[in-house]
């Protein structure tokens, strides 16, 4: 495995691969419009990156940083090469690049009646194996409850909100502000 990173920008020649993976890896209610992601990716606190193993497109990540907190907004691996170590390799690359930061991400919360319950458990086990742990925080957005995982020290609800506000902007935050609560308060 020879993982390398390429910046995704307007000159990225294989954007169609990122777009296809984005549309298949995330349900429509979780997808921020690509034009918005591209526009925001010009900011210095955003890393929109593709991963390759030599010339093979492996996947992509969209990362937002505020102070010493980095949020993995999106991380996707091409379906035909999942479960062979690329996800772990990408998380390792991310933790190397942001070695001084806490890294957070959201996963669908455990819900035994969810149609993808087994997939949710598998995803959580994957992140736990890779050094992430629960923050004890849940986020309610897109009509869904997400559990916040962290690599490193704890994160406060205010830090999460500040990062999200920096990304989305002061006007849109009023429309999209995620609801944050402690796990035990959601019942």
Among 19-23, 26-30, 79-83, name the most confident range: 19-23
- Supply the DSSP symbol for 22: H
Q: Check residue 181 and give its pLDDT.
A: 73
Which has the closest alpha carbon to 36: 62, 57, 16, 12? 62
Sorting pLDDT into bands at 50, 70 and 90, what band is 184?
very low
Q: Check residue 177 and give its pLDDT.
A: 59
| pLDDT: which is higher, 29 or 68 | 68
Tell me if the pTM is above 0.75.
yes
Q: Check residue 153 and give its pLDDT.
A: 95
Confirm if 8 and 41 have CB atoms less than 8 A apart: yes
Mean of pLDDT values over 49-53: 98
Secondary structure class of 133 (helix, strand, coil): strand
State how many domains the chain has.
Answer: 1
Counting Cβ atoms within 10 Å, is residue 163 exposed (0-12), middle (13-18) or buried (19+)? buried
Q: Check residue 180 and give its pLDDT.
A: 76
pLDDT one-digit tens code per residue, 113-171? 888 888 889 999 999 999 999 999 999 887 788 999 999 999 999 999 899 889 987 65
Confirm if 61 and 30 have CB atoms less than 8 A apart: no
Q: Where are the alpha helices (DSSP H) in 59-171?
A: 86-97, 117-129, 157-168
What is the domain range of residue 39? 3-185
Average pLDDT, the chain: 90
Counting Cβ atoms within 10 Å, is residue 50 exposed (0-12), middle (13-18) or buried (19+)? buried
Q: Check residue 186 and give its pLDDT.
A: 40
CATH number at residue 46: 3.40.630.30
pLDDT one-digit tens code per residue, 56-107? 999 999 999 999 999 999 999 999 999 999 999 999 999 999 999 999 999 9
Q: Check residue 175 and give its pLDDT.
A: 57
Q: Check residue 169 and give its pLDDT.
A: 79
């Amino acid at each position: 495995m020879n993982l390398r990173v390429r910046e995704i920008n307007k000159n990225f020649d294989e954007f169609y691969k990122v777009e296809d993976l984005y549309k298949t890896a995330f349900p429509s209610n979780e997808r921020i419009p690509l034009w918005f992601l591209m526009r925001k990716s010009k900011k210095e606190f955003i890393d929109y990156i593709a991963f390759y193993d030599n010339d093979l497109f492996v996947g992509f990540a969209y990362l937002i940083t505020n102070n010493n907190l980095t949020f993995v907004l999106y991380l996707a691996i091409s379906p035909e090469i999942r479960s062979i170590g690329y996800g772990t390799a990408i998380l390792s690359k991310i933790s190397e690049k942001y070695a001084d930061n806490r890294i957070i991400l959201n996963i669908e919360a455990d819900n035994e009646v969810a149609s993808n319950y087994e997939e949710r458990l598998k995803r959580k086990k994957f992140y736990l194996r890779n050094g992430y742990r629960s923050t004890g925080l849940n986020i309610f957005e897109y009509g869904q409850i997400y559990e916040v995982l962290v690599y490193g020290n704890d994160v406060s609800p205010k830090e999460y909100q500040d990062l999200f506000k920096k990304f989305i902007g002061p006007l849109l935050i009023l429309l999209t502000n995620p609801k944050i609560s402690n796990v035990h308060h959601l019942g």
